[in-house]
Structure 1
């Protein structure tokens, strides 16, 4: 059996990968013998020899692939005699967010132009105590001070908001960053953005109950809109400044309906009552496995 082994972005896993072959119960598993196989790091394709099976119909195994810092991936595989079979599923390892110690992100100067603009024009405000350390910062200093969780969230959102196929590349409508947290950011936006998303087939109206406005702002009659893709949806919830009427938005990404991963349904990305940006990255990367057009530009450190 030949099987593909990568992370969710299509890159090799650096550590050892263990493959456990267990024959299924009942007639389908007749002739099988449990086996354990392992590979060294940075192998993206592995061929496994010597699996026992019965002649004719073959033997059905349950295959579980595991490696440090990533979720176990499982699938069923029929093994037949005297042939090398392509695995019924490619193994795509999803990270365990709690194992991530930090991220490897691009330097400020290597960010897309729209991302640099948002950071350079930022006027950071203190809404909560957690926002205080970013007040007064902009540009590269702001980017560096965000730390891994907030930086990951920022990179997730700007990647998604720049994606023409799923969001209409609405990042060009974002003006100044105001607040950045691990699960969302707030920014002033151009007055034409509400009409743009309202008329777009890429968006639908969404509840705004969980999106209270910043201090000095009120909920806008423009409402809230969410992209209609199956998962990794961007949501834009509008608010207005009491004093000036200037338009801003609470912008976040969630996993929506989740996806099936091996035998596991990844149902939500909530970590300590907040969306975990590392798992959101995995949802985004998995949304376009062929072109890899939605992979945020950072990796993980364990």
Structure 2
């Protein structure tokens, strides 16, 4: 049977183990780390786009900060190079060098003249150290360039009261956007069937920019839904909620939803309304009505 090695056991004291872990961990703590990258999820092409990258060199020297779009390099910051700022031609990417600021710990890019078609994509910030380690650290963000309507859709033409047999008629119009906004109607939180709605034609509004034009479009959808007892049931008075939902034809992560609602009263039948003119002649409800009838008789006697 083997005897335990007392010298080996004494070496594995708790303090020694902790010191060993610290020794092996120090290089990792001091190595290059990309601590933060910020980029918009959805970017309006009519505005400038800001890309920000922050890093911790861990005691090493910065070689370069490189920016890529879809794996194509379009900008480089090299503090020790003959030319610190370099640009490379990539379709849809235009760096405003006068407003771009890079340092030994961060790099903030400003892009302008964006295009919905060519500026969308995966943007990557890559930081590298000098020799002899040549370490790399990077982060990537996907950016969708699009114009999202900023306001709720507009509902027009709806009345506040309907009777069974009437048609719920009205229209809903979205704000301007690119891609073209989508309009959906809901009655009491349930989607209205497509055969009761109709999209009206709208002319796009062009917005010109460096890489072409953006066609901003709005969507108008008309509603014509018959009000029957299936909707209101057996109640004499029912309160209904019609909602118009405005969405964008993009990924779920980038979708933007706005809504507008209107509340209406649905009746099983039109309530009786007193006709004051007829009732004034043939009813007996007030002294004024009786006086009007008496004057009418006197005038007839005077004529004849």
Larger Rg: 2
TM-score by length of 1: 0.26
TM-score by length of 2: 0.26
Larger strand fraction of residues = 2
Higher relative contact order (CA 8 A, sep 6+): 1
